[in-house]
Chain A
Amino acid sequence: MDPSEVEFLAEKEIVKIIPNFSLDKIYLIGGDLGPFNPGLQVDVPVWLALNLKQRQKCRIVPPEWMDVDKLEEMRDLERREDAFTPVPSPYYMELTKLLLNYASDNIPKADEIRTLVKDIWDTRIAKLRLSADSFISQMEAHAKLDNLTLMEINTIRSFLLDSLNCMYKLRSNLQPGSSKGQLTDY
């Protein structure tokens, strides 16, 4: 999956904004939004929040977890535990990137948040590499992957799945009568 597609899915997440305009309720195909009143918090999908923000029509309220103290706690826990700890949002990485890129003036201590989220991500990706390595070397047939996010899975998807398929082919080709797919298999 292309990372831009994961980001696309992340943009469906809901954030709070404070608009500076008024507008009636909007009936979108995917659900109702608004009404919008100046100064009053309202829930919108991230794609709309970013668009309004770029046109200077709103202020984005950072999600609760996008907070230095909370993230420091999460980072420490992530480093202490061997397993993957629960993440604050299934799209924590993409949301951090999007909100910090387009609305950093609405997010207190943006730089510290960027670093903390990066630290959490790095710790988790390191764990993921280790688990992938042991999955392959132990020739496991099943793994439980709770708390992993789509973007994290996506970083190892093609590498891991291709390797597993390759190993499977090598193993099953040892048995006679399994030659299939001649046109593309020179």
Chain B
Amino acid sequence: MSDALSEDGSDINQDDSREEDVMTPVELIAKLEEAWLNEKFSPELLENKSEVVECVMEQLTHMEANLQRVKKGDAKASIHRMEIDRIRFVLSSYLRSRLQKIEKFFPHVLEKEKSRREGDTSLLSPEEFAFAKEYYTNTESYLKAVALKRMPPNLQTVDMLKAVPEPCLDSFVFLRVKERQENILVEPETDDQREYVVDLDEDSQHLMRYRTIAPFVSSGAVQLI
């Protein structure tokens, strides 16, 4: 067994103090999986988790580099490779879900990013922002080139914000509570119903509208399932 794999990488932020609270790799992978499921099930695009993505990629690269140095026939190497494959799948699938939503809601995503106040966490990572802008320009100039410019003068533009559907925040979602929340207002579905409040106990599971619990998804108090 080579030394390369015996290194204990339990503290990924040893040498740099980017993060205030130091995350262990185990916590990091847990964070990635949470973000993956939340993004998969939330109707809207959630805040980007660039730092998690970067740290996970660092871990993977580091591990792959170590595996290069391992002697052939090392029994541990194949186990490490299987783990790498599993983590890379979650990471790719997470980034794919985000990209799909960016494409689906591009005018709204860009609008939200534009109206973001200084100091707020940005919705998009820098590379996602670049992608969204290019996607917008590409699609807009396509529509213009192939049809809009051949239409009567008063019909040569399309308001993308109106034309592309917005995320439906009123969609229902399934969730599990990680930190207890009290007095959550449940809006009535029909006129003859009344609104009421519920408490969300730790570890309980619920089906309700995304809009009601959206703040708890970003704060990490609930997990979408």
Are A and B in direct contact (Cβ within 8 Å)? yes
| A-binding segment of B78-86, B114-122, B147-155 | B78-86
Of the candidates B25, B172, B225, the one whose C-beta lies within 8 Å of that of A29 is B25
CB closest chain-B residue, reference A30: B29
**Does B8 lie at the interface of the complex (its beta carbon under 8 Å from any beta carbon of A)?**
yes
Interface string of B66-96 (1 = CB under 8 A from A): 0000000001100110111011010001000
How many residue pairs link A and B with beta carbons under 8 A? The number is 106
CB closest chain-B residue, reference A168: B170
| B-binding segment of A92-100, A115-123, A145-153 | A145-153
Of the candidates B41, B186, B190, the one whose C-beta lies within 8 Å of that of A142 is B186
Q: How far does the Cβ of A24 sit from chain B's closest Cβ, in whole Å? A: 6
Assess whether A139 is in contact with B190, with CB atoms less than 8 Å apart. Answer: yes
CA distance A5 to B183 in the complex (A): 34
**Does B164 lie at the interface of the complex (its beta carbon under 8 Å from any beta carbon of A)?**
yes
Assess whether A143 is in contact with B208, with CB atoms less than 8 Å apart. Answer: yes
CB closest chain-A residue, reference B192: A139
- Chain B residues with CB under 8 Å of A1's CB are 40-41
- Chain A residues with CB under 8 Å of B166's CB are 180-181
Of the candidates A21, A51, A145, A180, the one whose C-beta lies within 8 Å of that of B206 is A145
- Chain A residues with CB under 8 Å of B209's CB are 141
CA distance A153 to B163 in the complex (A): 33
CA distance A33 to B86 in the complex (A): 16
**Does A176 lie at the interface of the complex (its beta carbon under 8 Å from any beta carbon of B)?**
no
Chain B: number of interface residues, binned into ranges: 35 or more
CB closest chain-A residue, reference B160: A183
**Does A184 lie at the interface of the complex (its beta carbon under 8 Å from any beta carbon of B)?**
yes
Interface string of B184-224 (1 = CB under 8 A from A): 00111110010000100000111111000000000000000
Interface string of A175-186 (1 = CB under 8 A from B): 000001111110
Q: Is the interface of B mostly helix, strand, loop or mixed?
A: mixed
Q: Is the interface of A mostly helix, strand, loop or mixed?
A: mixed
Of the candidates B9, B79, B164, B186, the one whose C-beta lies within 8 Å of that of A181 is B164
- Chain B residues with CB under 8 Å of A165's CB are 168, 170-172
- Chain B residues with CB under 8 Å of A28's CB are 79-80, 83
Assess whether B165 is in contact with A183, with CB atoms less than 8 Å apart. Answer: yes
CA distance A143 to B166 in the complex (A): 26
- Chain A residues with CB under 8 Å of B1's CB are 24
Assess whether B79 is in contact with A29, with CB atoms less than 8 Å apart. Answer: no
Known A-B contacts A26-B5, A27-B6, A153-B225; the reply to A143 vs B83 at CB < 8 A is no
Most buried by A among B7, B25, B76, B84: B76
Q: How far does the Cβ of B7 sit from chain A's closest Cβ, in whole Å? A: 7
Interface string of B155-189 (1 = CB under 8 A from A): 00000001111101011111000000000001111
Q: How far does the Cβ of A124 sit from chain B's closest Cβ, in whole Å? A: 14
Assess whether A31 is in contact with B26, with CB atoms less than 8 Å apart. Answer: yes
Q: Which of A138-168 contact B (CB under 8 A)?
A: 139-148, 150, 153, 157, 160-161, 164-165, 168
Q: How far does the Cβ of B75 sit from chain A's closest Cβ, in whole Å? A: 6
CA distance A160 to B18 in the complex (A): 43
Q: How far does the Cβ of A111 sit from chain B's closest Cβ, in whole Å? A: 30
**Does A8 lie at the interface of the complex (its beta carbon under 8 Å from any beta carbon of B)?**
yes
- Besides A28-B80, A165-B168, 4 other A-B contacts (C-beta < 8 A): A26-B80, A144-B205, A180-B166, A184-B165
**Which residues does A use to contact B, with CB under 8 Å?**
1, 5, 8, 21, 23-24, 26-31, 33, 47-48, 51, 135, 139-148, 150, 153, 157, 160-161, 164-165, 168, 180-185
A-B contacts, 5 listed (Cβ < 8 Å) = A29-B29, A51-B82, A141-B189, A147-B205, A161-B172
